[in-house]
Amino acid sequence: MARIFCHQVLMATGMNWDAFRSRWEILMPGEQGDLIFGHNLTMLHGGLAGGAGRIIEPLCLVVDTPDGLDYEEWLAASWRRTLPKGV
């Protein structure tokens, strides 16, 4: 799963996931129609910088079988805000 985020960010910005997080993790300013990547474990939604009337229309990518050691390691690393080794 972590590789999906890394690949999406690399394709969109030219930055790997660690570089992207270092640059943007505190605040991701956006405009209407922007496509912002992240996952719901650590992302803050709503009117933080866009005002109370900000509308967010989420697009969800779902893991078919969220089980197994790889998934558990990714989930634990997401909570720790790090990526598993080798990702």
The whole-number average pLDDT for the span 59-80 is 78
pLDDT in tens, 37-61: 766 666 655 544 555 666 666 666 7
pLDDT bracket for residue 64 (50, 70, 90):
confident
Q: Which residues contact 18 (CB under 8 A, 6 or more apart)?
A: 83
Q: Write down the pLDDT at residue 20.
A: 78
To the nearest whole percent, how much of the chain has pLDDT over 90? 0
Q: Where does the pLDDT of residue 27 fall: very low under 50, low under 70, confident under 90, or very high at 90 and above?
A: low
